[in-house]
Amino acid sequence: MTIGVLGGTGPEGRGLAMRFAIAGHDVIVGSRDATRAAETVTALVAACGERVRGRLGGGLNREAAERADVVIVAVPYAGMVATLEALAPLLAGKICVCTVAPIEVVGGQVRLRAVDGSAAEEAARTVPAARWVAALHTVPASALLRCERPLDTDALVASDDAAARVAIVELLECMPGLRGVDVGRLANARHLEAATALLIEVNRIHGGHASLRVLGI
């Protein structure tokens, strides 16, 4: 499977590209800037070596969207809608995974921006022809980037497209130590985005790389 990562040069995008490539998928690291995409690929290959060679390519977000079977949206919230509007025809019919949390920092404090429901639902309204899934909000970039270590956390996966939800739970479980957990419809993405804000606060207070595990299921 070919996975395209929009915003693939940011920490979350880099971590996901690395983990997917290690698991044997072909990955296109997308960026607004093709040079930065190429530099990111070089750095990831240097960090991960033979395991990922030949599986990581870089290019514009447009190329990542076009060539991918599954698209990961890992751009900052501020640019999300504009990025998706520009790529809409290329995303139609594809499973798109929104990892975006509409975070802003006001007076040194992290908070969620007032959005209409969730960033994921905004993404779905922007490109209704894609098959939208929200996931990975509570899997920290810092953990993804420590590629020698298995993860030890859950990826909470929301979508109104049951088949896409199942496909993404399965896809994410290619990463050792990551359990995919179906959390229902896309409207629940607002709770996942809230969890990102909560974990940022937890990290600020406790100095860790916090993630969440659902117990009791």
Binding site for a copy of itself (CB under 8 A): 109, 111-112, 140, 143, 152-153, 156, 181-185, 187-188, 190-192, 194-195, 197-199, 201-217
DSSP string, 40-84: HHHHHHHHHGGGTTTTEEEEEHHHHHHH-SEEEE-S-HHHHHHHH
- Rounded to the nearest whole angstrom, what is the least distance from the CB of residue 193 to a copy of itself in the complex? 9
- Rounded to the nearest whole angstrom, what is the least distance from the CB of residue 23 to a copy of itself in the complex? 21
The nearer residue to a copy of itself, 31 or 188, going by C-beta atoms, is: 188
Torsion of CA 36, 201, 174, 145, to 10 degrees: 40
Judge whether 98 and 120 are in contact, CB under 8 Å. yes
The nearer residue to a copy of itself, 54 or 207, going by C-beta atoms, is: 207
The nearer residue to a copy of itself, 75 or 169, going by C-beta atoms, is: 169
- Rounded to the nearest whole angstrom, what is the least distance from the CB of residue 114 to a copy of itself in the complex? 11
- Rounded to the nearest whole angstrom, what is the least distance from the CB of residue 172 to a copy of itself in the complex? 16
Judge whether 200 and 140 are in contact, CB under 8 Å. no
The nearer residue to a copy of itself, 18 or 183, going by C-beta atoms, is: 183
Question: Scanning the structure block, which residue is given the tokens 């509007």?
Answer: 85
The nearer residue to a copy of itself, 62 or 111, going by C-beta atoms, is: 111
Torsion of CA 37, 43, 48, 49, to 10 degrees: 100
- Rounded to the nearest whole angstrom, what is the least distance from the CB of residue 173 to a copy of itself in the complex? 16
Strand 95-98 with 26-31, pairing:
unpaired
The nearer residue to a copy of itself, 51 or 204, going by C-beta atoms, is: 204
Compute the distance between CA of residue 55 and CA of residue 149 in angstroms, rounded to an integer: 20
**How far, CA to CA in Å, does 74 sit from each of 81, 107, 165, 207?**
12, 25, 18, 24
- Rounded to the nearest whole angstrom, what is the least distance from the CB of residue 79 to a copy of itself in the complex? 24
